């Protein structure tokens, strides 16, 4: 049996981070977690690009623009959509998830580090709090997926 799997070695990988400013304190913690993960898995600082968008709704277009640039092996989308009391949540969270379609359309892998929670406390728990750091997890998934795709070539 021939098994394909992505090794968790980021050396030589060019990684894009696209982060939304809305709920900025939380998203900065996701960016920090993602950056820490990349660095600790061998991604060079010069091989990381970070783009800020206004909110999670704007993530897909900017992820797409970076994906077609040819400069990056993988992109991590980072954001925090908090339901609060508004049905607006469903539109914003739904649009944010469209980054998955960008990956399929371009062939550039995109991982999803966008929190979708009921409360700010739940988001903080997942941005370096008691539930870990979803940015860190999405960065690790990015390394694994990029390496797997390279292995499948």
Provide the annotated active-site residues.
Answer: 88
- Of 13 and 20, the one with the shorter C-beta distance to ligand INI is 20
| Structure-token pair, residue 66 | 């970076």
* In the complex, least distance from residue 97 CB atom to ligand INI, rounded to whole angstroms: 12
What span, in angstroms and rounded, lies between the C-alpha atoms of 17 and 26? 15
By CB under 6 A, name the binding residues for ligand INI. Answer: 20, 22-23, 54-58, 79-82, 88-89, 92
- Of 42 and 100, the one with the shorter C-beta distance to ligand INI is 100
* In the complex, least distance from residue 47 CB atom to ligand INI, rounded to whole angstroms: 26
Rounded to 5°, angle at Cα 120 from 99 and 127 = 60
What span, in angstroms and rounded, lies between the C-alpha atoms of 107 and 75? 11
* In the complex, least distance from residue 58 CB atom to ligand INI, rounded to whole angstroms: 5
- Of 18 and 103, the one with the shorter C-beta distance to ligand INI is 18
* In the complex, least distance from residue 83 CB atom to ligand INI, rounded to whole angstroms: 8
What span, in angstroms and rounded, lies between the C-alpha atoms of 143 and 124? 24
What span, in angstroms and rounded, lies between the C-alpha atoms of 1 and 8? 21
Beta bridge partners of 116: 81
Residue nearest to ligand INI (CB): 55
What span, in angstroms and rounded, lies between the C-alpha atoms of 17 and 32? 11
- Of 35 and 117, the one with the shorter C-beta distance to ligand INI is 117
């Amino acid at each position: 049996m021939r098994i394909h799997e992505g090794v968790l070695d980021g050396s030589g990988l060019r990684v894009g981070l696209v982060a939304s400013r809305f709920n900025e304190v939380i998203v900065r913690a996701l960016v920090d977690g993602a950056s820490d993960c990349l660095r600790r898995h061998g991604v060079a600082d010069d091989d990381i690009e970070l783009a800020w968008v206004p909110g999670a709704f704007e993530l897909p277009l900017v992820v797409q623009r970076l994906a077609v640039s040819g400069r990056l092996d993988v992109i991590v989308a980072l954001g925090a959509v908090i339901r609060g009391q508004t049905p607006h949540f469903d539109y914003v969270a739904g649009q944010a998830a469209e980054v998955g379609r960008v990956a399929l359309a371009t062939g550039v892998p995109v991982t999803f580090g966008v929190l979708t929670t009921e409360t700010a406390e739940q988001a903080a728990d997942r941005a370096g709090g008691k539930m870990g750091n979803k940015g860190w997890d999405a960065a690790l998934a990015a390394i694994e997926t990029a390496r797997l795709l390279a292995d499948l070539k």
